[in-house]
Amino acid sequence: MTKKSALLLLLCALCFNSVVGAAVSVLAFGGSSLVGAIVANAVALIVGASFPKSALRSGVLVEVWTGEMIKAFRTPPTAVSWFDRVRSYDQYVENDVIHFAELGGDPKVLINNTTYPLNIQTLEDADKPVSLDKFDTEATPVTDDELHALSYDKMGSVQERHRESLKEATYQKALHAYAPDSNVAKKTPVFVTTGEAVGGRKKMVPADLVELKRQCDLMGMPQEGRVLVLCPDHSNDLLETSKNYAEHYNINDTEGKITRLYGFDIYEYNNCPFYTVSTLKKLAFGKTPAGTEQQASVAFHVGSMMKANGSVKFYHSEAKNDPLYHRNLVNFRKYGIALPLKANCTRAAIVSATA
C-alpha cells in the first residue's frame, strides 16, 4: 500500500469514527459531539492495537456481534419424561453389548397333590446377547476463519448441536421400538380413531381412549404403569373433544405428564411413529411416510420396556492437518438401545383412520 493510499484510508477512518462517535454521544447520552468524536477515535485506536498485525482494521470501528446464538428448536426434557420413566440397564452393558437371560419357562404348580415323589422340572435359561444400536452424526466442518472471526464459541455450539441431535434420535428410536409392529388381537392391538372427519382423517375422541383401556385389559397389561404418548394430532383432537383433558393441559408443566385418564399417564411427543392405515403395520424407522400412512399414539407398560446407553465417542480432526481447507471436522458416535422386554401384552397403538 502506498503512503498516499494509507493516508487516505486513515482520513476516511477518522471521519467515520468521528461521525459515529458524535452521533452516539448526542443521541444516546445528550453529550457533546466533539467529545463523542474524540472518544470514538480513541477507542478505535486502543482496540485496533490489540488485533494481530495481519488483521483487517486500520483503526475503523469494527462490526460488533452479540455472540448470542439462536438455537434450533429442541424437544424439552419434560416432553420426554415418558422415556425417563423406563428402567435403565446401563450397568449391564459390556463392550456395547447387553446380555439378557432368556428364561426357559415357569415351574408347574401342583394343587392338592397326593402323588410322591414330585417330578423334577428343569428351568433352562439361556444367555441372549443384544448389540446396541449405533448412532452416528454426519461430520460438521468448522474452519479456522470461523473460529477467528466469530465472537461466540462455534466449536462448543457445534458439539452441543451434535449431542442434542443424538438425544432426539434416541427418543424417536425408543418410541418406535416400544410401539407394536402390527395389529395382533389380545397381544399387540392397533386400531383406528372414530371421531369426525377433519383434513382427510378421523379425530381422536374419548371413546377411543376407552377402547384402548378395553384392549389393554383384554390382553392383561398390568394396570400400574400404563403410559400413553399422544401424537400432536391426537393431543389437539382431545383438547377439542375432551373437557377433562383440556382442563388438565399445561397444569403440570414440570414433570411432562399432561394428566391421568382411564388409567393411563398421558404425555405428548411430536415424533411418534407412523402406520399404514389399511394394514395397521408400523412404518420402518427413518422411512418417509406417504399419503397412506398416519401418525399414531403409542401406549405401553413402562415396567415392560428397557433402555441402555453404551459408549459415546467424539471424533475430531484438526485444521492444522488439513492444508487444503484449513477446517476442523467434528462428529459423534453413540451406542444405545431401547426395546420391549416382553413383546406381547405390553403395548398398543391408535392410528388416525382415513376419512
Cell of 131: 448389540
Cell of 346: 405390553
Identify the pLDDT of residue 61: 44
| Residue 159 contacts residue 262 (beta carbons within 8 Å) | no
End-to-end CA distance of the chain: 74
Identify the pLDDT of residue 125: 74
Identify the pLDDT of residue 298: 99
Identify the pLDDT of residue 307: 95
| Residue 228 contacts residue 297 (beta carbons within 8 Å) | yes
pLDDT 10s digit of each residue in the chain, 355 long?
555 555 665 666 667 667 666 665 555 556 676 766 676 667 666 655 554 544 444 444 445 445 555 666 566 677 799 999 999 999 999 899 998 776 666 788 888 788 888 888 777 777 778 899 999 999 999 998 888 777 778 888 888 899 899 999 999 999 999 999 999 999 999 999 999 999 999 999 999 999 999 999 999 999 999 999 999 999 999 999 999 999 999 887 667 899 999 999 999 999 999 999 999 999 999 999 999 999 999 999 999 999 999 999 999 999 999 999 999 999 999 999 999 999 999 999 999 999 8
CATH code, 66-102+132-355: 3.90.1690
Per DSSP, the three-state class of 97 is: strand
Angle at alpha carbon of residue 184, lines to 347 and 234, rounded to 5°? 50
Domain ranges in the chain are 3-50, 66-102+132-355
Identify the pLDDT of residue 72: 60
Locate all alpha helices (DSSP H) within 30-151, ordered by sequence.
33-50, 81-84, 144-149
Identify the pLDDT of residue 241: 95
